Structure 1
Amino acid sequence: MKLLYKKLILGFAFAGVVATSCSDEDYVDANTNPDILNEVPPENQFLSATISLHSQDFEAFYDTYRRIMPWMQYVTPQNGNGASFTSNIDNFSQRYGRLYTGIGDALVDMEKLVEKLPEEDQPKYVHMLSIARILKAYYTFYVSDIYGSIPYSEAWQARYGGTMLPKYDDQQTLFNTLDQEIEQSVTALNTAQSITQVSLGNYDQYYKGDVKSWVRAGNALRLKIAMRLIKRDASKTQTIAQEVLSQAADNLMSSNSQGWVFKGTAGFTSGGNWNPDLLYSTKPLVDFMWNTNDPRIDAFFSPNGYSQANINALIADGQLPAGTVEASRRYFGGFTSPDDSKAAINKKYYTPRTVEISGSDVQVDTLSLIQRRLFQPSFDEGNGIGDGLVYLPIITYAEFCFMRAELAARSITSEDAETFYNAGVTASIMWYNQIAVDGELSNYTALGGSEISDYLSEPAVAFDNAKALDQISSQAFLNFYKQPAEGWGLWKRNGMPNATTSLVLPDLKSNGATLPIPRRAPLLLLSQASANYVNQKAAYDAMAQDAGFGAGPTDAFGRVWWDEQ
């Protein structure tokens, strides 16, 4: 994987083409006049789509930090969650528009550019286009995952003489279509071509154009989509799983280095909207990780403010008694349930102390912040701007292992659940160690000794076939700490973790009532002024036939098709 430097982006970004950097006027020109793309190499559009996919800072700010992470009890504000925090869906979600302006359109343009090449040159791009279709399938799945029906089969046609009013593909049809397209792409990538292929090379920020790596990524994506079908069509899940897992071992992910992950320099997430400050760790996660001696705890969370140096300053200021020493445990998370938070505030649990150190006021807090440089390596923690690497995963090897473990635990496959559970836990610990070291996290101690084997021997972690699905879900949920949207998807699919699983996520209560948690993105209200009103209404009406859809388009507590009640 090649590191992403802004100079590289600028070097590849042709004026009026890269949607993430061009002006509105240029972008309109590019969408109404496809001839403007004639001088652009097809591979540039792949890079453009990749940058657009991962540069969504508003998605980080709203969807990740302030919606999904609190809902899933990954983080909490300093004073705990408010009484109706699960009902706050303002500015959620940010992913839909990028499919049509920035990602899907760039990849469709890529295909059209190849079609305009001399006929004898077009066969050189079979592999490149197959890779592009896998990327487009992933992001289409990612959008439909929380929206349900979306335009796909008739989308992106307007500028090439097709319809300007695309129909919506229902989610069942769409998932089948995407699976077929990925399967076809994987087959094409595995097929030797009679003519030397043009490689994406450095335009591919994931695998530098390596074909076998994209075969593995495509197969992992097929398995991921199949997992979403478990509640609706378990037989389809089994068919896809058998097709994928029966392939040669080299076609399947087998190490962290083969994961589908975007890696960039600190500057890639340096903007203010990436700022993860004032997000605190949660009591459910911290307690479980502390009690099981989880090696990832210092990759996820920062120790609280009660270092011996700060304690000494508080002693000198008269705020602590002489002789107070640093505790052996400095990881404490906040309560996630509003009722518990309210009680804790009344007990002054959250009240920080402030003391002057070297001429500056320092807040000393009992709670642990999240490791901010895990999400924004450039974050200034008072010791200057960081310059570590940022990792933005799509499908990690650990996730691939957990999917295989779950399929086995459900008897959908005949593989050994324990083997892949242990492999998933091991891969997750090693991966977080890598990104913590490369991200130059403060207060992080690199993995060493027998930490992994010791962790796998912990009573709450050691595989127990009687509670296999519980343990697999709990560990997969922890692994998704860097991918909260996937943790949300796991919870919707399995109903785990919950208040009775190994990793205990308590019910969220406000004034004694259990709060519902959103399950999908709110849809735009219908407007007859919309040019595509007829197709939009037809899609909404069809989705509303499902009993779980909810009270209406904007009901985020309703469900999409795959999330059957």
Structure 2
Amino acid sequence: MNTSSFKKLVQACTLSASIIALGSCKKDFQEINVDPQSITTVAPETLFYTAETKMLTSNASWYDTYACKLRWMQYCSNIWGYSTTNFTYFSSQIGASLYDDYNSVGSYITNAGYLATQKNTLDQYSDMLQMGKILIITKGMQTTDIQGSLAYKTAWQIRNGKDSSIYLNPSFESQEELYKTWNDDLVTCIQKLQNPPANVKKIGSYDRAFGGNTQQWIKTANALRLRIAIRLWKRLPDLAKSIATEVLAPANAANIPTGINDSFILWHANDYTTYNPGDWHSVYDMDCAAAPFMNYLKKYNDPRKNIFFQINNLTPDNIAAYNAQSSDKKVGGNITSAMTQWEGGTVSYDKRSTDEPYLARTLAGSPAVNMRAMNYPQTRLWKGTGYDGTGSGGNFAPLLTYADFCFMAAEFVLQDNIPSTQTASQWYTAGVTASVKQWDAIGNYCKVYDYEALTDVQLQAFLTQPGIAWDASKGLEQIYCQAYVEDFKNTNESWAQWKRTGFPNQTSSIIKFDKVLINGVEQNIPRKVKFEYPTVGTTNYDNIKARLDGMAAFPEFGGVTNEFGHLWWEN
């Protein structure tokens, strides 16, 4: 074994040990806030590293991405997993895994701060703890989008050596309180990162986002402030515009993302399944390309197409061989000449039996050839080794990319004339360009199947065609649809933005959604979890009940058990 391999083995063993030691949190999302477990004495930077691994986990991928949001957002149509009556909110695990991960991240970062205090090294870990706060807020935003009010100010304090009743029974902040507090906390994080103690410690490779680069964390904090502003736009427009004005001010240009290297992405190399062994199915077994998304990718010859999906086996030779098989070996008759190597299937359950791309077909032989037309996702985007166990690529967790930032900036400049270094058109074009380049770099990093590097000719041809090139008459639709494409893997954000903007939809001229029918009944996309009141005697009963009562007070909430009602920030 060479030195490099040995180091990787030691790192993996150290990580596994820390996860075993720290991973005894109970599934019920309240428990980590109130369970007075002993504080584990490990290095603070190890806890930070572990917190970053909890920003994307197998449970959340399974329930919130593969089984739900890839399908709700019509990127994919399910080929396996849950019955035809389960398009909407079919499991209490939907959203719960996100809350588990939020609590895990909060617990580890809080514990890291406590350990630094105990070791009299708080100043040394100042930068890391600000980065940790940014992690918590990022995960909190994902979680509140589906869970509403959260415990934040008094959460996890048992991990900070505190054991009074207020910390054993934490209260919950409303979304309005959370967003205001998070914005203030991000401002504080920026100030502290800009003015670190003289003896501050650099954490380097313990940080999977930026290698401990504080300026990039400052840029990320400002980008998150813009995401907060866009969430507050409908409810608190003056505050939203004030935040956007601060972030996008030309004088602040050095402190916002300026390229894809500033994208807030956690790079997990090929060790993702080391700490997420439960993600053994990956996305391959559950989902194939949906027609609405594939129709867009084909119409505009989007260069991201082969990064998102694997090419299918419908070559002319394979089609001819399949059609020549005896009828008893065929499913659904011959494959028509209209079928290509890039196809999406219906999202509507009622149409699947007659939808040619959706039919499962096999070309007999040794080995047999999968002839289903629907393209499979590039599984190495989720699992470095891919569905077949081969491959040496990396895994990644996109949290807020430079393209995301550009599209938010474009919207603020277009809608409210927020002063900025660029026009709305320039921000939009920068966003599309960044997205294509970012996904090309990701394809290379993840070693996706049949990767081919992007060329300048491809990029320019894509950017200049009608529907992609900026068109002032439908600028907002372009911004929203390109943000949707960018967030193919960040489905939490894609779904949140759909709730805010209503795009894509069934009338969009760029990405047109299917009508989803089950037994003739059109299906709606959930907007929150189905809540339930706790039973009397439940730990922290009063605060949990107050949480639900507070959310239910909003007229558009739609009832505690109604997954189609609106949370506060959407109203």
TM-score by length of 2: 0.88
Q: Residue 427 of structure 1 corresponds to which residue in structure 2?
A: 434
Does 2:213 align with 1:210? yes
Task: For 2:517, give the aligned amino acid.
Answer: K
Task: Using the TM superposition, give the Cα deviation of residue 529 of structure 1 relative to its aligned residue in structure 2, in angstroms.
Answer: 2.2
Map 1:173-192 to 2 at 5 A.
173-191=177-195
Output the CA distance in 2 between the equivalents of 1:48 and 1:235.
38
| 1:527 alignment partner, SS class | coil
Separation in structure 2 between the aligned mates of residue 218 and residue 131 of structure 1, nearest angstrom: 9
Measure how far apart 1:10 and its partner are.
2.6
Q: Map Cα deviations across residues 59-97 of structure 1 (whole Å, 9 max, x no partner).
A: 111110011111111110249993552242452121112
Q: Distance in 2 between matches of 1:90 and 1:33?
A: 26
- Determine helix, strand or coil for the equivalent of 1:556: coil
The answer for the alignment partner of 1:361 in structure 2 is 368
Check if 1:68 corresponds to 2:73: no
Structure 1 distance, partners of 2:54, 2:39, is 22
Q: Does 2:244 align with 1:238?
A: no
Give the Cα separation in 1 of the matches to 2:566 and 2:195: 40
Cα shift at 1:299: 1.0
Q: Secondary structure at the match of 1:280?
A: strand
> Which residue does the alignment assign to 1:559?
566
Contact 1:74–1:481 (8 Å) recurs in 2: yes
Q: CA RMSD in A?
A: 3.0
| Deviation of 1:511 (Å) | 4.5
Q: What's the counterpart of residue 549 of structure 2? A: 541
User: Whole-Å Cα distance in 2 between the matches of residues 249 and 452 of structure 1?
Assistant: 26
Is 1:337 aligned with 2:348?
A: yes
Please give the per-residue CA displacement for 1:228-254, whole angstroms capped at 9, x wherever unaligned.
111211211111111112243221111
For the residue of structure 1 that corresponds to 2:550, the secondary structure is helix
Gaps of 5+ in 1: none
- The corresponding residue for 1:99 is 102
Residue 380 (structure 2) pairs with residue 386 (structure 1): no
Structure 2 residue corresponding to 1:273, chosen from 260, 279, 283 = 279
- Give the Cα separation in 1 of the matches to 2:178 and 2:376: 40
Is 1:5–1:265's contact at 8 Å kept on the other side of the alignment?
no
CA apart distance, 1:486:
0.9
Structure 1 residue 297 displacement after superposition: 0.9
1:517 is matched with which residue: 520, 525, 542?
A: 525
1:198 equivalent in structure 2: 201
Aligned to 2:403: 398
Write the deviation string for residues 375-402 of structure 1: whole angstroms up to 9, x where unpaired: 2221244xx5221111211111111111
Q: 1:260 aligns with which of 264, 272, 289?
A: 264
- Cα offsets for 1:458-501 (capped at 9, x unmatched): 21111111211101000000000011111101100111111222
Identify the residue that residue 49 of structure 2 maps to in structure 1: 47
Residue identity over aligned pairs, in percent, reads 28
Question: Aligned with 2:261: secondary structure?
Answer: helix
Residues 345, 357 of structure 2: 8 Å contact kept: no
**Partner Cα distance (1:31, 1:6) in 2:** 33
Once residues 289 and 196 of structure 1 are traced to their aligned partners in structure 2, the CA distance between those partners, rounded to angstroms, is 51
Q: How far is 1:48 from its partner?
A: 2.0
Cross-structure match for 1:282 = 290
**SS where residue 264 of structure 1 aligns?**
strand
Structure 1 residue 311 displacement after superposition: 3.4
The structural deviation recorded for 1:23 is 11
Which amino acid is the alignment partner of residue 335 of structure 1? Answer: T
- Which secondary structure state, in structure 1, belongs to the residue aligned with residue 428 of structure 2? helix
Q: Secondary structure at the match of 1:169?
A: coil
Inter-CA distance 298–153: structure 2 relative to 1 (3 Å threshold)? same
TM-score in terms of structure 1 length: 0.89
Aligned residues of 2:88 and 2:523 also touching (Cα < 8 A): yes
CA contact (8 A) 2:209 2:265 kept: yes
CA distance in 1, matches of 2:223, 2:173: 23
Q: Structure 2 counterpart of 1:202, which letter?
A: S
Secondary structure of 2:107's counterpart equals helix
C-alpha distance in structure 2 between counterparts of 1:6 and 1:176, whole Å = 43
The CA deviation at 1:6 is 6.2
Rounded Cα–Cα distance in structure 2 between residues aligned with 1:349 and 1:212: 48
Per the TM alignment, residue 561 of structure 1 is displaced from its structure 2 partner at its CA by 1.0
C-alpha distance after superposition, 1:189-237 (max 9, x if no partner): 11254x2311122221211211111101111111111111112112111
> Residue by residue, what CA displacement relative to the aligned partner does 1:395-443 show, whole Å, maximum 9, x if unpaired?
1111111111111121251441110111110111111111112212123
Cα distance in 2 for residues equivalent to 1:328 and 1:347? 12
Q: How does 1:278-357 map to 2 (within 5 A)?
A: 278=285, 279-311=287-319, 313-314=321-322, 317=325, 329-339=340-350, 341-342=351-352, 345-346=353-354, 350-357=358-365
Provide the rounded CA distance (Å) in 2 between the counterparts of 1:495 and 1:78.
Answer: 26
2:21 touches 2:40 (CA, 8 Å); kept in 1?
no
Q: Distance in 1 between matches of 2:39 and 2:271?
A: 33
Q: Kindly state the Cα deviation for residue 371 of structure 1 after the two structures are TM-superposed.
A: 1.8
Q: Distance in 2 between matches of 1:88 and 1:122?
A: 45
Cα deviation code 1:242-280 (max 9, x no counterpart): 111224322111111111111122331373525112311
Runs (5+) with no aligned partner, structure 2: none
Q: Offset at 1:15?
A: 5.3
